[in-house]
Amino acid sequence: MSTTRATMKHAAVYSAAAMAGRMIGFIMLPFYAHVLRGQGYAVIGMLDVGLGFLLALMVYGLQGSIIRLYHDEKDPARKPVVVSTGIILIGAVTALFSIPLVVFSKPLAAFLIDDSGLYRLLIMALISFNLDMVGQAASSWLLVRSRSLQMASLSLIRLFVGLSLNIYLILVRDMGLDGYFISSMAVNFLSCAVFTTIAFRDCGREFDPKIARTIRGFLLPLIPGTLASWIGRQVERILAKVLINLESVGIMEIGYKFPVLISLMVVKPFMNSWETKRFEIADDPGAPETIAKVFTYFIFILSWAGLILAVIIKPVLEILTPPEFHIAYRLARVEVLTVILMGANRHLQFGLAYAKDTAMISKLRSSTAALKILLSWFFISNWGIYGAAFSAAVIGMITSVLFYHFSQKRYRLELEWKALGTIGVVGMGYFFLLTNWDLSSFSIYKMIDQQWLPAINSAMEPTFLGTWKEGKLITALGERSGPVAEILINGIIATTFIVVLPAIHAPTRQKWTQKIRRRLA
């Protein structure tokens, strides 16, 4: 089980790195919400739709393809060339596709955000996108070498720079959306510069046309399915804009913003560590059992994080955002389930990735995306923006089942169904209990609400937060001591979900059993 322990260790470091590198938006959320409001979030969301199209068309799966082909290369001297070729290839392709979009940025801005005068935001978003994609390609070198501590250090630097720029440009200079996108460009430029410098220093700058064709051959079959998946996912924003209004897209962005935190803290870090390792061990004796065991641990951690977020999201939004965003908690809770399902899918499609059957992956994505479009239209027409979240969850379930079915034909995994069932049943029990009870009658709630929090609020008044916007944030926190108490109580109780751990981890089960026996003796 040394492989499993090593994976968990690196995943924990990557999780801290991802949290540090991507926490800018969450730390700044209350400021964004009050400064940018629903219209500003809608603009950000619709520009993300356009950039998502580029991601689907050009570079989805690029990092995974570099990792896969790196381990496939038999000549150790040629392995670094896979990385350098991938970096140069993605830099050239993203630049090639971005140039005409910059030329036609005004009509594109009019189409996406109903204001051609904001075309400059689209140009800045495109530049930021290019830098981010090249940086991600370059970071694959650190992933294949398992340099998790180096990744964590770079993410901390990213957090410091990004947070400083956001505070200065948005709050001090009051630049609004311009400040948001300028800050994003600067942070992605820093990441890109550092990652490419490290990768080119270690791997060189050689471009191998043969390797480039191999990468292209790996990625091209994915494009139809990825485009279909993009359409299926983004169509809900477009339908909300058409069937409801642009402001509804802003509410959706808030609702979807917090579940993304689970992907950043759990799914992506875990896969950064595990994706390269599972290809390394796939042909070893006992590898299918190890891969299945890691999947169980992954689902446990993912469910734990999802449970905590689901039971605190309502009061979190009540504290951090204006009233117009408060209803987004319903979207967020459903989206948590979707994130868990799609995270599971990253594991369940391993058999197809192992067999390099990207054509089948594309077919499955295309078929589920077509169904998603129909479901989104039906659900949004009948239930508004909540229907968008429900349609995504339903498709997440169908997608996971289909990928598991076809992947099993290529690489059979004996999943630990009993442990997985225990995680699911206990997690749902916690959720329904913590979201349906009345906390106001508990003495601990009254103590936090009436004594502890007012004292903390008074201590914050002399700080920067007490003077920003004439103390509006401090006043808002003082008026929302009830939701803060709810976060503390529900959040702490949700952490006890760890009681499920003995059911999935034999050493923990044995250790706990021994302690209980000693106490009873």
3-state SS record for 293-336:
HHHHHHHHHHHHHHHHHHHHHHHHHHHHCCHHHCCHHHHHHHHH
Same domain? 500 vs 461: yes
The tokens describing 128, both together, are 């930021």
194-232 per-position pLDDT tens digit: 999 999 999 999 998 888 888 877 777 767 766 666 666
Give the pLDDT confidence score for residue 251 in this predicted structure: 80
How many Å apart are CA 157 and CA 191, to the nearest integer? Answer: 9
Last residue within a domain, chosen from 436, 468, 490: 436
Quote the mean pLDDT of the chain.
79
Same domain? 453 vs 432: no
Is 230 domain-assigned? no
Same domain? 275 vs 389: yes
Is 112 domain-assigned? yes
How many Å apart are CA 194 and CA 10, to the nearest integer? Answer: 21
369-426 per-position pLDDT tens digit: 888 888 888 888 888 888 888 888 998 999 999 999 999 999 998 899 989 999 999 9
Last residue within a domain, chosen from 436, 457, 488: 436
15/113: higher pLDDT: 113
Same domain? 318 vs 362: yes
Same domain? 196 vs 318: no
24-51 per-position pLDDT tens digit: 555 555 556 556 655 665 666 666 655 6
* Extended strands (E) in 228-281: none
In the predicted structure, residue 297 carries a pLDDT above the cut 60: yes
In the predicted structure, residue 336 carries a pLDDT above the cut 90: yes
From residue 159, how far is each of 16, 164, 342 by CA, in Å?
12, 8, 26
Is 3 domain-assigned? no
DSSP 412: -
Strongest mean pLDDT among 93-97, 162-166, 300-304: 300-304
- How many residues are given for the chain? 521
Is 324 domain-assigned? yes
Give the pLDDT confidence score for residue 10 in this predicted structure: 47
Helical axes 148-166 vs 268-281, angle rounded to 10°: 160
Whether 210 and 89 have beta carbons less than 8 Å apart is answered as: no
Same domain? 325 vs 280: yes
Coil, helix or strand at residue 338: helix
Burial of 498 (0-12, 13-18, 19+ CB in 10 A): exposed
Is 45 domain-assigned? yes
Band of the pLDDT at 341, cuts 50, 70, 90?
very high
How many Å apart are CA 90 and CA 139, to the nearest integer? Answer: 13
251/491: higher pLDDT: 491
In the predicted structure, residue 13 carries a pLDDT above the cut 60: no
Same domain? 272 vs 187: no
Band of the pLDDT at 11, cuts 50, 70, 90?
very low
Helical axes 2-22 vs 287-320, angle rounded to 10°: 20
Same domain? 34 vs 65: yes
Last residue within a domain, chosen from 220, 251, 280: 220
Residue 52 belongs to what H/E stretch? helix 29-54
Which runs of consecutive H residues, i.e. helices, occur in 264-286?
A: 268-281
At residue 225, what is the residue type? G
What is the gyration radius of the CA atoms in the chain, in angstroms? 24
Work out the average pLDDT over 127-149.
82
Look up tokens 């910059």; give the residue. 102
pTM given for the model: 0.65
Same domain? 402 vs 420: yes
Whether 477 and 320 have beta carbons less than 8 Å apart is answered as: no
Look up tokens 């106490």; give the residue. 519
Is 317 domain-assigned? yes
Same domain? 327 vs 387: yes
152/85: higher pLDDT: 85
Of 61-65, 324-328, 424-428, least confident by mean pLDDT is: 61-65
Same domain? 344 vs 421: yes
Tell me how many domains the chain contains.
3
Give the pLDDT confidence score for residue 394 in this predicted structure: 92
Q: Please list, in sequence order, all residues whose beta carbon lies within 8 angstroms of the beta carbon of residue 317, skipping any fewer than 6 positions away.
A: 254, 325, 326, 328, 329, 332
Is 187 domain-assigned? yes
Work out the average pLDDT over 481-505.
85
Q: What percent of the chain has pLDDT over 70?
A: 76
Same domain? 507 vs 365: no
User: Domain range spanning residue 285?
Assistant: 241-436
How many Å apart are CA 34 and CA 14, to the nearest integer? Answer: 31
From residue 436, how far is each of 311, 330, 357, 439 by CA, in Å?
10, 14, 45, 9
Work out the average pLDDT over 489-495.
91
Is 235 domain-assigned? no
Burial of 74 (0-12, 13-18, 19+ CB in 10 A): exposed
